[in-house]
Amino acid sequence: MKKLLLRDAISAWLLFVACLGGGVVLNAWRAEPLPLLYSSPKERLTRVAENLAPENITPLGDEGDVDLDAMRQLWAAHSALIIDARPEIFYRVGHIPSAISLPRDDFEAKYRELASELQNYRNQPVVVYCSSNECEDSQMVAEALQRLGLAHVRLFRGGWSEWESQNLPEETP
- In percent, the amount of the chain with pLDDT more than 90 equals 53
The predicted-structure confidence for 109-133, as pLDDT tens digits, reads as follows: 999 999 988 988 888 999 999 999 8
State the pLDDT confidence band at 59, using cuts at 50, 70 and 90: low
Query: Domain spans of the chain?
Result: 1-37, 41-165
Average pLDDT score, the chain? 88
Mapped onto helix, strand or coil, the DSSP state of residue 153 is strand
Give the residue with greater pLDDT, 83 vs 149: 83
Which of 6-20, 50-64, 115-129, 153-167 has the lowest average pLDDT?
Answer: 50-64
Q: How far apart are CA 144 and CA 124, in angstroms?
A: 16
Query: In angstroms, how far is the first alpha carbon of the chain from the final one?
Result: 70
**Cβ within 8 Å of residue 41, ≥6 positions away:** 104, 105, 136, 140
pLDDT of residue 155: 94
Please tell me the distance from the alpha carbon of residue 116 to that of residue 156, in angstroms, as a whole number. Answer: 24
Separation between Cα atoms, residue 61 and residue 64, nearest integer Å: 9
Write down the pLDDT at residue 67.
93
Q: 41-165: what CATH class? A: alpha beta
Q: Does the pLDDT at position 11 exceed 70?
A: yes
Res 7: pLDDT: 87
Q: Are 129 and 96 in contact (CB under 8 A)?
A: yes
Q: What is the mean pLDDT of residues 5-14?
A: 89
DSSP structure string for 54-118: SS---------B--HHHHHHHHHHT-SEEEE-S-HHHHHH-B-TT-EE--GGGHHHHHHHHHHHH
Q: What is the pTM of this model?
A: 0.75
Is residue 75 predicted with pLDDT exceeding 60? Answer: yes
